[in-house]
């Protein structure tokens, strides 16, 4: 996972978790199902807004993103 020092704000980006465009470290998370050749659609998230957890599913090992912060109004 590559960490960037700040977000790319060129398209009016807001973090999907906290809803802000705060200038702090972000990561790109690939969207499953969008892989084509060596490219994948990705979304930016503040590093401090997410947590990656490993889930042992028997034959599969799944990495899941846990939301650390939520936008106001999101259900708990
Ligand atoms: Zn955020």
- What tens digit of pLDDT does each residue of 17-35 get? 889 999 999 999 988 899 9
Q: What pLDDT, on a 0 to 100 scale, did the predictor assign at position 37?
A: 94
Enumerate the domain spans of the chain: 3-67
> How close is the Cα of 7 to the center of ligand 1, in Å?
10
> How close is the Cα of 29 to the center of ligand 1, in Å?
13
Q: Give the tens place of pLDDT for each residue, 37-63.
A: 999 999 999 999 998 889 898 988 888
Enter the pTM of the model. 0.75
The DSSP call for residue 36 is B
Q: What pLDDT, on a 0 to 100 scale, did the predictor assign at position 65?
A: 81
Rg over alpha carbons for the chain, rounded to the nearest Å, is 14
> How close is the Cα of 27 to the center of ligand 1, in Å?
10
pLDDT band at 74 (very low <50, low <70, confident <90, very high): low
Nearest CA-CA partner of 18 in 10, 28, 26: 26
């Amino acid at each position: 996972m590559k960490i960037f020092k700040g977000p790319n704000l060129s398209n009016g980006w807001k973090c999907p978790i906290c809803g802000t465009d705060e200038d702090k470290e972000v990561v790109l998370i690939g969207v499953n199902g969008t892989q084509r050749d060596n490219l994948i659609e990705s979304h930016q998230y503040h590093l401090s807004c997410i947590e990656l957890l490993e889930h042992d599913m028997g034959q599969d090992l799944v990495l899941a993103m846990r939301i650390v912060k939520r936008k106001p109004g999101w259900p708990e």
